[in-house]
Amino acid sequence: MKNFTGPKPNAFRNAEHDPVKRFGALLVQEGVADEDELQRLKDKVDAAINEAADVALASPQPAPETALDFIYSPSVDPTSSEFDTEDKVELSGNPGTMVDLINRCLHTEMKRDPRVIVFGEDIADCSREESLGQVKGKGGVFKVTANLQREFGSARVFNSPLAEANIVGRAIGMATRSLKPVLKFNSLITSGPPITRFANELALMRWRSGNEFSSPVVMRVPVGGYLKGGAVYHSQSGVSLFTQIPGLRVVYPSNALDANGLLRTSIRCDDPVLFLEHKHLYRQAYNKSPYPGDDFMIPFGKAKRVREGSDLSIITYGALVQRSLVAAKQAEQQGISVEVIDLRTMNPYDWNAIAESVQKTGRVIVAHEDTMSWAMARR
């Protein structure tokens, strides 16, 4: 530091470096305005701010009974029968993996609704659109978004910087202008800036504005373990953290069919949704499914009993559904009848399905892939 010849640190805090003052000086220098005009503009802004402050201070406190108003959309209810087409599903075609059916859902929803914009970390087929004809294309590390850019163009499908807070902030702006952003992060984001955007801006947009604004953003995030590489950063679960944020829906499918239906519900609902995709499930043969149709939807808050039992209930989700089924079959050889409930959505829960199962069996295990303390089983 002895040889440092640049400006002293305090110089950067000098009023001469104030961008507002420098811009004013530039306007005068270029003849755009004179000092009197700038002062009148300043006085006008100050008066408007003071008037707004007076109105705010004079406003009455909101009634206590309004505290829970507008946490979620008052007009679009993704837990309703409107979003439940499971009983009418008609499967067709060859079985596809979770990657296949998520990709197909994105294609059909982008065709259905021109407001759907897909962007995020490493989702495009090619960073430079002019090179699309020369390269095979990528569509992400797991190829979940393959060929979306080719079909819908770079205005609707594009890569973002590796900056999660930037991505969420941009999506909030898009959503408040009536677009439907579907984002993708490379891993669960538990650092400060993204969490701030999640909890204080995205999830609370409708509540804080008294239903004047909404942010129906879908955030796709690969999570979970059982794969090599990525270390702790790419194997976190964090479900308990995000289910504590009012206004944020949290979805966690365990198979290809559910992923397709739940993603379609996520895109068509009017609330922000965190859509968790377990990487280990992406291409498993056991969870493949034929295509359920372009209007197949599963409502939020509807669990699925994937195995009947009478002695013990396992409440689980994601990759542990299959592992619980394997364990249940092993327990059956010892004369123990195990019921397995796949929650499918974490916020909201299907409390009725949980209560019905536990009342029947009298014993329960909550199987989760998370930290030992403060995870879903501890809530």
**Positions marked active-site:** 234
Residue 137: other Cβ atoms inside 10 A = 16
d(CA 364, CA 98): 29
Terminal C-alpha separation, the chain:
52
Burial class (CB in 10 A: 0-12, 13-18, 19+), 318: buried
d(CA 171, CA 118): 10
Residues 251, 346: contact at Cβ < 8 Å? yes
Question: Given strand 273-278, what is the order of strands in its sheet?
Answer: 157-159, 116-120, 180-184, 218-223, 273-278, 249-251, 345-347
